[in-house]
Amino acid sequence: MTMIVKKMLCVMSDGPLNYACCVKYTQNPLPFGVIKGFMEQKSTEVCRIDAIIFLTKNNKKVCASTKDQWVRVALARLRSKLEKLSEEGNQHLITAGL
C-alpha cells in the first residue's frame, strides 16, 4: 500500500519540476521572421514572473515582457495571422459541407 502511494507522489511531482520558467526578459527584440509561435507564462501559476515565451524557427525559447513595444507588435501580428488562418480554415470547412 505504501509503495503505491510513493509511486503516485513521484508521478504527481514530475509536472512542476520539469517546467522551465522564464526568470528574466530578453533585452534584444526578435525579428518577426524568426518567430514561429508563442506561449504565455503566468505568475499566478507555476512561475514567478509573467512572460511571453517566443518559439523561434531554430526551436529556441526567448522570454519577453509584454511591457516592451516590440513584443506587443509581434503578438498582434501573430494573432492576426492566426485569425486569417482560422478564417481560411472555416471557409474550407463550409464549402466542403455544401
CB-based contact 10:28 (threshold 8 Å): no
Distance CA 29, CA 27 (A): 7
Predicted pLDDT at 44 = 94
Instruction: Locate the domains of the chain by residue range.
Output: 20-97
Band the pLDDT of 14: cuts 50, 70, 90.
very low
Distance CA 90, CA 73 (A): 26
Band the pLDDT of 18: cuts 50, 70, 90.
low
Local structure of 53: helix, strand or coil:
strand
Write down the pTM of the prediction: 0.69
Q: What is the CATH number of domain 20-97?
A: 2.40.50.40
Query: What confidence tens digit (pLDDT) does each residue in 29-69 have?
Result: 999 999 999 999 999 999 999 999 999 999 999 999 999 99
Predicted pLDDT at 91 = 57
Query: What confidence tens digit (pLDDT) does each residue in 58-94 have?
Result: 999 999 999 999 999 999 999 998 888 888 776 554 4
